[in-house]
Amino acid sequence: MRLPIQTRLRNGTNVLIRPLVPDDAQFLIDGFERLSSQSRFQRFFRPVSRLSGALLEQLADVGHAGHEAVSAFAFADGRMVPLGVARYVRSPSNASTAEVAITVVDEHQRTGLGSLLLRCLAYRAKVNKISEFTAHVLQDNAGMIAIFRQLGSTIVPTDDGTFKVRFTIPEGITALSDDASPKDLFRRVSEDQLETRSRA
């Protein structure tokens, strides 16, 4: 499963999924503007009204093995419109582990996009010798918890009101076909635990 890929979401939107690059900073800003305050809070664990300065620099500092991101775009009026991004940052203390975060603009949530981005990201991580994802998720973030649960993650409550999530990236992450719908792809991830069929 090499990026870029094109697919159709459950709501009929055609999307392009490709790696995020540092020049995409404006797309990050545009995508952020399309997030509700609740989604912003769930992503950053605090109210964030604008994406700028150090936070923007940090989010756009991608494209190396320690920090990679995959992004989803739709096309409207001849322009690329950002719909979501999933990223990992490798742990400084354990090179085979990385912390993951996903964001999907509110209008396109519950279309399978979050799950699809996570799968694409997991594939990229595996290529870079990362075998485990971790995440911190607010305890009331039903969507994110559901996705991690469906992947067979370990989910443990912490004292600071978050869940600490861990999941092992299955070996067969490359086995999935590109032409299935995001939901089909996600089902195969969760049901087969990414069977190790080769697509070579």
Ligand X SMILES: CC(C)(COP(=O)(O)OP(=O)(O)OC[C@H]1O[C@@H](n2cnc3c(N)ncnc32)[C@H](O)[C@@H]1OP(=O)(O)O)[C@@H](O)C(=O)NCCC(=O)NCCS
Locus of tokens 């490359």: 174
Q: Is 127 in the site for ligand X (CB under 6 A)?
A: no
H-assigned helices in the chain: 25-33, 37-44, 53-60, 113-127, 142-150, 182-192
- The nearest distance, CB 104 to ligand X, in angstroms, is 4
Q: How far apart are CA 9 and CA 11, in angstroms?
A: 5
Q: Which of 39, 59, 60, 73 binds ligand X (CB under 6 A)?
A: 39
3-state secondary structure of 184: helix
The alpha carbon dihedral of 44, 9, 193, 71 has a sign of negative
Q: Which of 1, 5, 143, 175 binds ligand X (CB under 6 A)?
A: 143
The alpha carbon dihedral of 104, 57, 92, 158 has a sign of negative
Q: Is 142 in the site for ligand X (CB under 6 A)?
A: yes
Q: Which of 20, 111, 185, 189 binds ligand X (CB under 6 A)?
A: 111
Q: Is 31 in the site for ligand X (CB under 6 A)?
A: no
Q: Is 71 in the site for ligand X (CB under 6 A)?
A: no
Cβ closest to ligand X, residue 139 vs residue 196: 139
Query: Which residues make up the interface to ligand X (CB under 6 A)?
Result: 39, 42-43, 101-104, 109-115, 135, 137, 141-144, 146-147
